[in-house]
Amino acid sequence: MKETSLQKKKRGYIIIEMEMSFGEYIDRLSIQLHKVQKIGIECYPEFIHLIQELLLETPIDNFKEVIKGFRNLYIINGNIWKLESDLRQGKEKKLGLATIGKRAVEIRNYNNTRISEQNRLNKLFGGFLNIKKDHISE
């Protein structure tokens, strides 16, 4: 039996409904997979449920593009995660400013590729494009 919003709220979840583009949704799922792999098995069933819903709602002729987009975003987000890891752990002094600067540029470039991949999916599935003003991703 599927858990209701009220049941989730009682367990400490905050339920927020929001609209997002298809590309952004796939991007968030790819980030969630990284988190599930880091955190462990307790949230795995909920994640699998999200993936199943996505795949069941995808028309068969677009299936390969969804998988390709998910894979691309998963790789991009993994690279960003690795570059940000030392910073999240407070190792700025150990890295030095030159390394931090190089990583910032790499992260910016990965985010540019990430936005491009989201927009590629949005064009295929009719979503709105993620447009940045005065940004390298334009």
Give 77-112 pLDDT, tens digit per residue.
Answer: 999 999 998 888 888 888 888 988 999 999 999 999
Low-confidence ranges of the chain (pLDDT < 70): 1-16, 40-45, 47, 55, 58-60, 132-138
pLDDT value, residue 69: 92
Q: Residue 97 falls within a domain, yes or no?
A: yes
Q: Residue 12 falls within a domain, yes or no?
A: no
Q: Residue 14 falls within a domain, yes or no?
A: no
Q: Residue 120 falls within a domain, yes or no?
A: yes
pLDDT value, residue 124: 87
Distance CA 63, CA 74 (A): 16
- Burial class from Cβ neighbours inside 10 Å (0-12, 13-18, 19+) for residue 114 reads buried
Q: Residue 5 falls within a domain, yes or no?
A: no
Q: Residue 79 falls within a domain, yes or no?
A: yes
Number of domains composing the chain: 1
pLDDT value, residue 13: 60
pLDDT value, residue 74: 94
pLDDT value, residue 87: 84
